[in-house]
Structure 1
Amino acid sequence: MKTWIKRTLIATVSAGALIAGVAYSQGGPHHFGRHGQMSEADMAQMRERMTDRISKELALDATQKQYLVALGTQLEAQRKAMSGGQPGAMREQMQALIAGNQFDVAKAQTLVNEKTEAIRLQSPQVISAAATFFNSLKPEQQQKVREFMNRRGGMMGHGPEGRPGEHRGHGPKDAPAR
């Protein structure tokens, strides 16, 4: 994979992980409505709660809060682009891959290509919004963000060393190296 694509994906996922991590710390997946799907009203309410919580945690000023809202808006646009704008679409697409007697390799590759293109098209705006927000933070606020990422295990529920189950009640924080 080309270096710029890797960097784009890492930056995008990191920004999303920051926002999602704060949301998840509010109480876990049961806050995301029935079976993980949220209505537009639920999403708007969650965005408002996340913005308020992050603003409070980082003691954001009005301009920084505007940048945070802009970042959230860009992340939401990317999420919609990834899902095709339809709630539950990804789950249905994944189920279609295994609906027959064999895994539908061609359909899976098409799905990957569509998602990759959505990321490619939306990433510049997400990265710009993430950079604008992060760069607007004072050094002590930036350090809080770094500490949060380390404490919450970075991305996708992995521990600080990149191993699954290092936090959120999945295992001891001081688990021995595997």
Structure 2
Amino acid sequence: MKPWIKRTLFGMLGASLLVGSLSACSSGHGWRHGQMDEQNITEMRGKMLERVGSKLELDTAQKQKLERLADTLQAQRKAFLGDAARPREALQALVAGPQFDRVAAQALVDAKVRAVQTGSPEVIAAMGDFYDSLKPEQQSQVREMMTKRRGWMRHRG
């Protein structure tokens, strides 16, 4: 894999972790109770933006950059999911027959890689614009939040 692709993927992962960790702090957690529809996603996005804005004490320009980042990540998520309304069904179709469907699996992976390659420059730019607009103490808070959320799969306690 080319170095720039690795950096792009790690950059996307970092941006996703930031937004994911910040949104995980918000209440609701509708994803635990089934697939989220557009209304739930919009509500969760609004709560996340409000919570991050208040925790970091963002000014108006910073809030606009955070909203752009959220929009970009949401668009990237939609592009990554593609036409599959139910990604689990797409994976189950690979093992539906007597043999694993390698051609369909490779096509699925290729589509996901294309979506990441196509959308990653916008995600990286939006993440960079938001992060660079933060004051040093706000950047420190973001790093601290990411460190605290490192074990997001663990139970709190």
Q: TM-score, normalised by structure 2?
A: 0.92
Matched, 1:74 2:72: yes
1:86 deviates by 4.9
- 2:40 — aligned with what? 42
Q: Which runs of 4+ in 1 moved over 6 A?
A: none
Q: 1:49 to 1:58 in 2, by over 3 A?
A: same
**Aligned partners of 2:51 and 2:36: how far apart in 1?**
20
1:26 deviates by 2.5
Structure 1: tracts of 5 or more residues without a match: 158-164, 173-178
Say how many residue pairs are matched: 157
Q: Which amino acid aligns with 2:52?
A: I
When you count helix as a share of all residues, which structure comes out higher? Answer: 2
Which of 117, 136, 139 is the equivalent residue of 1:139? 136
Q: 1:75 to 1:85 in 2, by over 3 A?
A: farther
**Aligned partners of 1:86 and 1:45: how far apart in 2?**
23
After TM superposition, the structure 1 = structure 2 runs for residues 93-104 of structure 1, keeping only pairs within 5 Å, are 93-104=90-101
Q: Which has the higher contact order (CA 8 A, sep 6+)?
A: 2
Matched, 1:57 2:44: no
For residues 8-36 of structure 1, give each alpha carbon's deviation from its aligned partner in whole angstroms, at most 9, with x where no partner exists.
111111111111112222357x422642x
- Contact 1:134–1:142 under 8 Å retained in 2: yes
- 2:31 — aligned with what? 32
Q: 1:62 to 1:86 in 2, by over 3 A?
A: farther
SS of corresponding position for 2:58: coil
- 1:105 — aligned with what? 102
1:91 deviates by 1.5
SS of corresponding position for 2:150: coil
Give the superposed CA RMSD.
1.8
